[in-house]
Chains A and B, each alone.
Chain A
């Protein structure tokens, strides 16, 4: 059993600086869980609490069947890969990987076997005699992962392991970490990142964390679920706005009434749209926010049902697709992600269809209305 359970976990730095609030979380055996959130949301702190490098102010952390709140980091059967690699600069690659095993008094031939096996998996065998300073960023990250592998942990912890690498190497290492997860199916993995692409690509489960006032108001966890669940069924405005690039369009609207097919809303621009959600608890005239992702806005020849017609303020071309910026978003301009060059230019008036099943509706508190 390598499941990880956090129950009622809270953490403050001093009396007045809460960083983690009311975290209840279950990470299943062998699951790849990503802690995602903006800077300062406490995702690294939460990871470090699982590692034993930070103590929880209250609550309980279990790894498997064991409560580990008072267990030393080395005895939790976890291994951690740090953002800046944290390789011991005065030891060779081999010594770096063997160090933890030597501390655990593992027999010499067993250490040798495990280090060489990890080096083979990570293709760093020729580097074993080198010192860390003689390695590239990608090689150092591999060694850091190798140091984690040799310990044969029940839980792998990754603290933003790719953020110091360049874009191309990041994509490559991301696929290597996915491979690592397949090679060690029994081990659970927790991965911290602020990069939603990494989270979407790697996670079995994403834990999206609030920061600042949202954390104080709603607790640390914004939403937990499979990546596509968070993408298609965000629980609130924060989740909807955090996932997706460019971010989801938000438009101020007024609730008109509930029909069988969904809620009827009027936008500030005058259009009326149907959103397949349950708005029966809302009063007519209640302020709501319509959300629709840029990639779901499809260009149409002119105003029709379920369309937005706006003045084009700018167009950005990326070859395969373009971003068309439209007036009238809340607070940022609306963006439509359209194929090719978009067929419009700044100053034009253009219409885009927002398919009903791609629209989201949020009440005045920013909570998503249930989809029907």
Chain B
């Protein structure tokens, strides 16, 4: 149905206005956070929350960096890196099987794995906590890797399977004629050709796991084993909280993600649409 000129003009105005509104909703808290990190603790209590800092004061950053922040950072990097590598490898192999290998329970298994997306992680907390204690991994950063990989696989397999279904069948057949078995076809043809899908999976999961709080909270307890999302606890006392220091932790924690999103935005958006839009 053709829209009238008035509707078109209204649309032309409404879309940017709504866009600007949403930009404000998302950026103002971020700017508020960064601004507050430059205030001293006293200043944050005495002045208005919207007041600009009196000077560019880096004391909160110095305070945070002199504490266990770097230990948390090291743990986070290690846990996220190992988890993402495993997620990419396992989900790519599973996706190749679901997309290309005909076997009896292909559709049923794929459905089962995708159904895993609707399981809330919170109901798995107690069993995972008990199992982690049982196998002696409690209070180790490695305890997080298993749950992280398991909970990330359904969406990753789903996205990559759709991606691999788009790779022409003839490439696989050409490779078979060139003497490749299933593993060579996977590693030399499908894996490299799935590059955009794999990087989408990697970036998406890295962001999710970087911010993951609940498993880290339940499965680790020591300063030496915790990850970044738990770092703010160090600046929250029983009777008072050092708000500028907490926000400095949050700013430093979110910085890698902001940079990653700036570079990988297109792939993340594409990956989110891969499951719903064909072709």
Contacts and interface: CB of A to CB of B under 8 A. Distances in A.
A86 B179 contact: no
Interface stretch (B61-69, B169-177, B252-260): B169-177
Nearest to B172: A86
Given A84-B168, A84-B170, A86-B171, A51 B177 contact: yes
Contacts of B73: none
A267 to B, nearest CB: 50
B184 A103 contact: yes
Given A74-B176, A78-B177, A86 B168 contact: yes
B170 A82 contact: yes
Contact of A88 (B171, B173, B179): B171
B189 interface: yes
A86 B171 CA distance: 5
Nearest to A148: B177
Nearest to A54: B173
B54 interface: no
Contacts of B170: 82-84, 86
Interface string A230-247: 000000000000000000
A82 B189 CA distance: 17
Interface residues of A, number: 22
B194 to A, nearest CB: 10
A82 B176 CA distance: 13
Contact of A73 (B176, B184, B195): B176
A72 B185 CA distance: 14
Contacts of A53: 173, 176-177
B178 interface: yes
Interface residues of B, number: 16
A89 B178 CA distance: 15
Interface of A: 51-53, 72-74, 78-80, 82-84, 86-90, 99-100, 103-104, 147
Given A82-B170, A103-B184, A88 B177 contact: no
Contacts of A100: 177-179
Contact of B177 (A74, A84, A89): A74
A86 B174 CA distance: 7
A90 B193 contact: yes
A103 B183 CA distance: 13
A123 B175 CA distance: 24
Interface string B130-173: 00000000000000000000000000000000000000101101
Contact of B178 (A51, A83, A99): A99
B176 to A, nearest CB: 5
20 contacts: A73-B176, A80-B174, A82-B170, A82-B173, A84-B168, A86-B168, A86-B171, A86-B174, A88-B171, A88-B189, A88-B193, A89-B193, A90-B195, A99-B175, A99-B178, A100-B177, A103-B179, A103-B180, A103-B184, A104-B179
